[in-house]
Structure 1
């Protein structure tokens, strides 16, 4: 999704959103002044914010490439955000042009921009839906149009990249489990998420300010999770090597420009990919 420069929002917008702030941090143009101001405040408190977004994007690319090369034919990207370069369908279809991708996001700007770029790509689509209401997404997948994109009776890659931190601890399993548990053997689950160790590697006041910016500017509560809490979200999915690690440590590629490679500390984001195996 590389044509966003021609479709930049013209309105000043209202409240910032998590996805449009992320777009700004990645250097995109699908954002409003409210998003840019919130992101600037975020960068003041946490200068590594843009590098963290970039590192997450690179992890997504490596994970998708790994799964496409393993033969997975359909990808369900929940909380997919604003389209930018290196999206799931671009990476996956470079390996197999028949791969199908469904993007799901609550932000109508993200969905409109995605579908504009997906015109002429019959195996990919974007819908407006809340990933924290999984039953509504499951219901939507029964429609004739979407069933042609995602068929949960076939192996599927379910992606939660840098979105589950928006879900409270007491709700997280009710958000992830309904779709995860429908996935058949041979399916995969991808998660990237800020780890609790971020409070150890960064100034606590800065971390607190970051949470406050998201809360006041984007009405988003940020929840960090421990490795044990993140591994629990994979349930019976077996993590592939190297397991749950900092994003820049997950199968790095030669010549890749992950910004944390040159930093003294790893990415504050953790990530892993797991496969559901057939019962023995």
Structure 2
């Protein structure tokens, strides 16, 4: 495995890329290894504007959290949270309500270790190690932190993660199980790689489908994302192109028809 940087545990396999660390590489972060960078460069060869799309994804996350905070929701469960970056969930939510509580969840040990270091002085934010495909275990661990109360409205964030959940893992049932554990007024925010979007993204998907991939990727259409959300009430503007979901003032530039990312927020009534 070789010797890693100070923030990397000796138990971490430096030779195998991870989704969280490759994402960190795309965004220009420093919490990644050469295996992550090599994998990421192969994806960038096929879609050079991928980092721009991922920054759009982070912008959607911030807008969604601000929107949900404005509805009075003050507790968030961020599934597949990855490596913390500027403008993360707790910063946005606590900017609206300083008492807002956030539980991050990730299965990558680097993401977990770095998040713990970042959040150690914030009593209202923490991370738990977990696999989002195991809703009951994740929810139990989140409640155990004391920061999630399932008797009050909760925002569940599934941002840029469901395209790593294969059909065989039953993504609709995963979303259903999380939301079934919440009370009415709870919401889920989703962003997803788009099957019928930019053709270059399909080439990126093929990179993620290879044997050395950190996770296979399942691109989906807007109709398929809507199906995953099941009986939840999808709030306006519905399942839409990511930059078009409640854009900030001045961010109303034309979005190409083949834009590769979808976004939606849905409510449990």
Q: Same fold (TM over 0.5)?
A: yes
1:43/1:169 CA distance change after superposition, 3 Å: same
1:61/1:226 CA distance change after superposition, 3 Å: same
1:248/1:142 CA distance change after superposition, 3 Å: closer
Counterpart of 1:96 in structure 2 is 97
Question: How much does 1:262 deviate?
Answer: 6.6
Counterpart of 2:216 in structure 1 is 221
1:207 aligned to 2:202? yes
Question: How much does 1:189 deviate?
Answer: 0.7
1:240 aligned to 2:235? yes
1:141 aligned to 2:142? yes
Residues 76 and 154 in structure 2, CA contact (< 8 A), matched pair in contact too: yes
Counterpart of 1:3 in structure 2 is none
Q: TM-score, normalised by structure 1?
A: 0.86
Counterpart of 2:157 in structure 1 is 159
Structure 2 Cα separation of the partners of residues 74 and 138 of structure 1: 13
Structure 2 Cα separation of the partners of residues 10 and 49 of structure 1: 29
| Partner SS state of residue 211, structure 2 | helix
Structure 1 Cα separation of the partners of residues 258 and 63 of structure 2: 17
Counterpart of 1:130 in structure 2 is 131
| Per-residue CA distance 1:211-250 (angstroms, 9 max, x = gap) | 2345333331100112222112222322222111110111
| Per-residue CA distance 1:195-226 (angstroms, 9 max, x = gap) | 2212xx325xx623542345333331100112
Match among 258, 262, 267 for residue 259 of structure 2: 267
Counterpart of 1:179 in structure 2 is 178
Structure 1 Cα separation of the partners of residues 209 and 49 of structure 2: 16
Counterpart of 2:244 in structure 1 is 249
Question: How much does 1:142 deviate?
Answer: 4.5
Residues 75 and 102 in structure 1, CA contact (< 8 A), matched pair in contact too: yes
| Partner SS state of residue 75, structure 1 | strand
**Larger deviation, residues 175-184 vs 52-61:** 175-184
Residues 55 and 267 in structure 1, CA contact (< 8 A), matched pair in contact too: no
Which 5+ residue runs of structure 2 have no aligned equivalent? Answer: none
Coordinate RMSD, CA, aligned = 2.2
The alignment of Structure 1 onto Structure 2 pairs a total of residues equal to: 262
Counterpart of 1:33 in structure 2 is 34
| Partner SS state of residue 185, structure 1 | coil
| Partner SS state of residue 63, structure 2 | helix
| Partner SS state of residue 125, structure 1 | strand
Question: How much does 1:123 deviate?
Answer: 0.8
Question: How much does 1:8 deviate?
Answer: 5.9
**Larger deviation, residues 211-220 vs 118-127:** 211-220
Structure 2 Cα separation of the partners of residues 150 and 39 of structure 1: 34
Residues 74 and 156 in structure 1, CA contact (< 8 A), matched pair in contact too: yes
Written as runs of structure 1 = structure 2, the 5 A alignment for 1:36-47 is 36-47=37-48
